[in-house]
A and B are shown apart, each in its own frame.
Chain A
Amino acid sequence: MGAYNTIAFDAAKCDGCGDCMTACAETKVGAGDSARSRIQIGGDAANGFELALCRQCGDPKCVSVCPAGALGKDAASGVIAWDASKCVDCLLCTVGCAYAGIALDEATGRVAKCDMCEGNPACVTACPHDALKLVTTSRIYNEVGNWEDLFAPGLAGCQGCNTELLMRHTLRRVGPDTVLATPPGCVPGMGSVGFNGTTGTKVPVFHPLLTNTAPMLAGVKRHYKRIGREITALAIAGDGGASDVGFQSLSGAAERNEQILFMVVDNEGYMNTGMQRSSCTPYGAWTSTTPVGEATHGKTQDAKNLPLIMVNHRCEYVATASTAYMEDFYDKLDKAIAASKRGFAYLHVYSPCTTGWRFPTDQNMEVARKAVETNFVMLWEYSRAGGLHFTRPVDDPLPVTEYLKAMGRFRHLSDDQISHIQSKVVENLGFVKQLAHVAKA
Chain B
Amino acid sequence: MEQTKYLVVGSSHAALEALTAIRMHDPDGSLTLLTRDPHLPYSPTVLPYVVSGRSAPDNVFLRDESFFAAQKISLKRGKALKALHSSRNTAELADGSEITYEKLLLATGASPAIPPIPGIDQVSYHVLRTLDDATQLHAAMKASKQAVVMGAGLVGMHAAENLVKAGAKVTIVEMAKQLTDGYFDATAAALIEQAFTDNGATILTGSRVVKLAPSAVGATITLESGATLEADLLLVATGVKPNIDFLVGEGAAVERDKGILVSERMQTSVPNVYAAGDCAQAKSFYSDTKVMNAILPDAAEQGRIAGMAMAGDPGIKDYPGGIPVNTYHFFGRHAISVGLSKVPEGGEVVTRFDEASGRYLKVIFHEGRLTGIYGVNEFFDAGVMSQLILRRIDLAPLRERFLAEPMKTGREIMSRTWR
Contact = CB atoms under 8 A, between A and B. Distances in A.
Interface of A: 11, 40, 42-43, 48, 50-52, 61, 64-65, 67-69, 86, 88-92, 94-100, 103-104, 106, 109
16 contacts: A11-B419, A50-B411, A50-B416, A52-B411, A61-B383, A64-B16, A64-B300, A64-B304, A86-B59, A90-B45, A92-B296, A94-B381, A95-B382, A96-B383, A100-B407, A100-B414
Contacts of A42: 408, 411-412, 415
A388 B224 CA distance: 93
- For this complex, into which size category does the number of interface residues on chain B fall? 35 or more
B215 interface: no
Nearest to A11: B419
Interface of B: 13, 16-17, 20, 43-46, 48-49, 54-55, 59-62, 296-297, 300, 304, 325, 327, 329, 332, 334, 336, 379, 381-384, 386-387, 407-408, 410-412, 414-416, 418-419
B55 A98 contact: no
B331 to A, nearest CB: 11
Contacts of A52: 411, 414-415
A40 B411 contact: yes
Contacts of A97: 381, 383-384
Contacts of B49: 68, 88
B416 A65 contact: no
Contacts of B416: 48, 50
B96 to A, nearest CB: 34
A90 B329 contact: yes
Contact of A95 (B54, B386, B414): B386
B13 A65 contact: yes
Contacts of B60: 68-69, 86
A64 B20 contact: yes
Contacts of B48: 88
Contacts of A103: 379, 381
B interface SS class: helix
B29 to A, nearest CB: 20
B46 A98 contact: no
B412 A43 contact: yes
Contacts of B300: 61, 64-65
A414 B323 CA distance: 57
Given A52-B411, A65-B13, A100-B414, A94 B297 contact: no
A91 B418 CA distance: 23
Given A88-B54, A91-B336, A95-B297, A67 B382 contact: no
B43 A67 contact: yes
B55 A91 contact: no
A11 B418 CA distance: 12
Contact of A98 (B20, B296, B336, B387): B387
Contacts of B387: 98
A2 B45 CA distance: 32
B414 A67 contact: no
A62 to B, nearest CB: 8
Given A51-B415, A67-B46, A95 B379 contact: no
Contacts of B379: 103-104, 106
A95 B384 CA distance: 8
A89 B329 contact: yes
Contacts of B304: 64
Contacts of A94: 327, 381-383
A138 to B, nearest CB: 19
A108 to B, nearest CB: 11
Contacts of B408: 42
B160 to A, nearest CB: 17
Contacts of A43: 412, 415
A86 B55 contact: yes
A228 B12 CA distance: 64
Nearest to B338: A95
Given A69-B61, A89-B329, A100 B411 contact: yes
Contacts of A106: 379
B414 A65 contact: no
A91 B334 contact: yes
A315 B317 CA distance: 55
Contacts of A50: 411-412, 415-416
Given A68-B60, A86-B60, A88-B46, 8 more contacts: A65-B297, A67-B45, A88-B49, A91-B329, A91-B334, A94-B383, A99-B418, A106-B379
A52 B327 CA distance: 20
Contacts of A89: 329
Contact of B332 (A48, A64, A69, A109): A109
B260 to A, nearest CB: 22
Given A50-B415, A95-B383, A95-B386, A68 B43 contact: yes
Given A43-B412, A88-B46, A91-B336, A64 B17 contact: yes
